[in-house]
Amino acid sequence: MLKDGARRLAGEAVHRAYALIRRLGEISPASPGGKRFHHLGEGVCIAFPQGAIFGEPWISVGAHTLVGTHVSISAGFVPGLDLGPDVIVKIGESCSIGRGSHIVGHQSIVIGDDVFTGPYVYITDQNHTYAQIDAPIGRQWPENSAVEIGDGCWLGTGSIILPGTKLGRNVAVAGGAVVRGEFPDNCVIAGVPAKMVRRYDSEEGWLPPLKNKPQLITAEELALLSVEGMRGLQELQDKLREENEADRARREQAG
C-alpha cells in the first residue's frame, strides 16, 4: 500500500499527465487532425477525448467554435467514402457543442453562428424507413432530409433534432425535446413531439409573457470574458455572486 505522501504525489502526477494528454489530443486548425477537415476556422477547439469523427473533408467548423469532449461528428456512413463536392456538415462561428453530442450528416446539416447546445444533443439528417412491412427496418434504405439550425439557437440537454427540421433564429429548444418540422424566429419549443410553447410578437412581446425581466450581458462583462486565462472568468463569477448577494439582501429588507 502506498503511504499518504506517495499516494498524493502519484495522484498529482497522473492528473498532470492526463491534463497534458488532453491538451495534446485537442483538434485545432494547426493540429494534424485539423488539417483533414474541409475547414476549421481560427480558434476552433475540438476537445479530447473525441467521439467518432470521420468524413472530415465534408465537415466545416467556423472560427472560435468549441466542441466538448466525446462529441461525434460524422459525414457519410463510414470513413473513406467519396461524398461528392459539397460540404455536408457545416457548423458556424462562435458555437459551443456540449459534451457527448452527436452530429450525424448524410445530405446537409447547417448550424448557424452562436448556436449553443447542452450535453448529449443528437442532430441528424437521416432516418430509417419502415414502409416495407415484410423487411426488417434496418435493411430498408434510409431517407435523408436537410436540417437547418438558425443563428443564436439554444438546444437543451438531450434534445433530438430529426431530419427535415428547420429552426429560425434564436429558437430555444427544451431539454429532451424531439424536434421535427419548421419553427419561426424567436420562439420556445418543447415536448415529444416538440411544439411551440412561447413566441415573440412584434407588437405584444412574448406570448405568454415572461415572468422575469431579461438581462443582457454588458460590455464590461464581455470584456471580462475576453481576459486571458481563468482570471476573467473568476472576476465575472465574483461579480455575479456579489450581485446575487445584494439582490438577496434587498429582498430580505423588503420582506
* Residue-level pLDDT at 224: 62
* Residue-level pLDDT at 228: 55
- Which one from 15, 64, 106, 128 is the annotated catalytic residue? 128
* Residue-level pLDDT at 6: 80
What's the distance, CA 252 to chain centroid? Answer: 38
- Whether the full predicted model's pTM is greater than 0.75, yes or no, is yes
Check if 128 is active-site. Answer: yes
What's the distance, CA 39 to chain centroid? Answer: 18
Residues 96 and 62: beta-carbon distance below 8 Å: no
Spell out the per-residue pLDDT of the chain, length 255, in tens: 557 778 888 888 888 888 888 888 899 999 999 999 999 999 999 999 999 999 999 999 999 999 999 999 999 998 888 999 999 999 999 999 999 999 999 999 999 999 999 999 999 999 999 999 999 999 999 999 999 999 999 999 999 999 999 999 999 999 999 999 999 999 999 999 999 999 999 999 999 998 877 666 676 666 666 655 567 678 778 887 888 888 888 888 887
* Residue-level pLDDT at 234: 81
* Residue-level pLDDT at 223: 65
* Residue-level pLDDT at 227: 57
CB burial of 155-192 (b: ≥16 within 10 Å; e: otherwise) equals bbebbbbbbbbbbbbbbbbbebbebbeebeebbbbbee
